[in-house]
Chain A
């Protein structure tokens, strides 16, 4: 949202970096919204699948994803309760304010 800056201090990413080794990991981000955190995750991980039930937010996330990250990120519309992915497909799952 314009006129709002969330976490410019980067405490969310600092916590992730400290607790969850992301390098070479296959990540699933649940509740990605417009992809605010997804971009930072994609810079660190092998691949990121990001899912959110909000179609408009996913459309924005796809639109604003930097070209250099497009090969490593996929955005899907969907819900945490019925994930359309094979069992064991990810090394880590991140619930972004979604659980």
Chain B
């Protein structure tokens, strides 16, 4: 299945800015991208990034084992948002390097625990995880009724007309 994640440069910039903010004890920040969803005619999937929901400062748990550990209020707020707005939710965090980022074993293990929870509130919508680097991104998508996630094969960044760099990455 071809899966494409499409978002605007403005949204991506907002996410990077939020993820760059320091936290009093967490070594990194995390959040969720709420998304619209559509299909391609060849049964592919198009995910469209709409807005960024950063995990609130108070919703991190201080843990020596994780760069960032979300408390249950963080997950609950994301679930509520998905339920209320009928949106797909993609957890996002960043690895501090350039080039293609890869999910760590901890990323995969923890995601497998909480991503399927979104089907309890939105059973017919795909959800997933995104990892950013400073100039690239990777992602996995859990499609309804499939326990194993599928890789997001294409990311498209759409730039506004005022930008003077490349408009479609």
A binds B: no
List the interface of chain A (C-beta within 8 A of B). none
